[in-house]
Amino acid sequence: MHTKAKEKTLAVIILTLITMAAEIFFGLITHSMALTADGWHMGTHAFALSITFFAYVLVQKFSNNEKFTISTDKIQTLAGFVSSILLGITGIWILFESFMRFLNPLVIDFNDAIVVAVIGLVVNLACILIMGVHSHSHSHHGHKDYNFIAAYMHILADALTSFFAIFALLAGKYFNLAFLDPIVGVLGGIMICIWAYNLIKSTSLILLDYKEK
């Protein structure tokens, strides 16, 4: 179970890094906040996914080590906790940058930005298919694998941001509604912060061994 999850996570990391580089480059050239935010967003997710990957490496290494008195599931939960914090930071950053774009609007090169944003969305959807959350959302002990769930949420957040970016760019190009670019950035940031909060809450309760009466 862990081996398959680790391999899938590594494949997604590689795809994410390649797309991240392209989106940041073209986002800066085209002056698109939505596209640039999507690129940096994918960068933070690549880092978070790396945490997921190395957590699986540690779990495989120590799962049969008698020196560990607690379940190695705690390693996965801790990785999920850290990953969810990074997800929250990403959401806050997108909110900040979007509000700044309200104050300092830039001319957007819609054609190039739309092409790269679509490519980003396609990559995100491919990553979602690669991960296949339903088959890996539980560990071999039957508990929820928050490490994998957090990684999956990062990818969903990427897809959400890409979709919002495309919507804003199309509206700006065909209906002269360029002001939607930072607005959808705010909406995406809020949604991502909500996801992060729920993950942080779930993982922190497990790490503290909280039990409902």
Q: Where are the domains of the chain?
A: 2-62+71-207
Instruction: With beta carbons less than 8 A apart as the criterion, state whether 28 and 37 touch.
Output: no
**Residue 42 pLDDT class (50, 70, 90 cuts):** confident
Percent of the chain with pLDDT over 90: 10
Question: What does the pLDDT average to over 85-101?
Answer: 87
What is the per-residue pLDDT for 193?
A: 92
* pLDDT tens sequence across 133-169: 554 555 555 567 888 888 888 888 878 888 888 888 8
Residues 6+ apart with CB under 8 A from 139: 1, 2, 73, 76, 145
Per-residue pLDDT, 81: 92
pLDDT in tens, 99-113: 888 888 777 778 877
Range ranked top by mean pLDDT from 39-53, 124-138, 197-211? 197-211
Task: Give me the pLDDT at residue 159, please.
Answer: 84
- Closest by Cα among 83, 70, 123 to 204: 83
What was the pLDDT predicted at 85? Answer: 92
pLDDT at 62 over 80: no
Helices (H), the chain: 2-30, 33-62, 73-103, 110-131, 133-136, 146-175, 180-207
What class does CATH assign to 2-62+71-207? mainly alpha
Contact 203, 70 (CB under 8 A): no
Band of the pLDDT at 71, cuts 50, 70, 90? Answer: low
Most confident of 9-13, 30-34, 144-148, 151-155: 9-13
Angle at 198 between CA 33 and CA 119, to 5 degrees: 35
